[in-house]
Amino acid sequence: EFLKPENIHDMRAIVNVPLKTPFSCVIDGVQCSSRCTLGKLNIEVNNSENITITFETKGGRRIELQVKEDVVERCLKLEMEEAVKWLLNLKQEEIFKIRSQLS
């Protein structure tokens, strides 16, 4: 809603994640939820210690989501199903540090 892209080619994503599972599954989630895909070349993937996803439109709107370190640590300690159930009960602000910019 915040970005309001005009069409599926108006937005791009920059995904910074450790390039190993389960972290790299974030890339799949970004492709499914944003329609930014490797095939359309509007997604960039970088190896990183942190998990940060940035979405930006050609019009200059931008939002950055950084997964909080304590969230990652807790998820790694839980079984996958337990982690998913726990995450589903959190608010976005509890999972991410969110920064946005309007052009």
The pLDDT tens digits of the residues spanning 22-74 come to 999 999 999 999 999 999 999 999 999 999 999 999 988 999 999 999 999 99
pLDDT given for residue 103 in this prediction: 60
Q: How confident is the model at residue 4 (pLDDT cuts 50, 70, 90)?
A: confident
pLDDT given for residue 9 in this prediction: 85
Question: Could you give the domains of the chain?
Answer: 11-101 (3.30.1330.130)
13 CB-contact burial (10 Å; exposed 0-12 / middle 13-18 / buried 19+): buried
Whether the full predicted model's pTM is greater than 0.75, yes or no, is yes
Phi, psi for 10 (deg, rounded to 5) = -85, -15
pLDDT given for residue 3 in this prediction: 78
For residue 8, CA distances in Å to 32, 40, 101 come to 12, 9, 20
Instruction: Look at the block and give the residue holding tokens 């599972």.
Output: 21
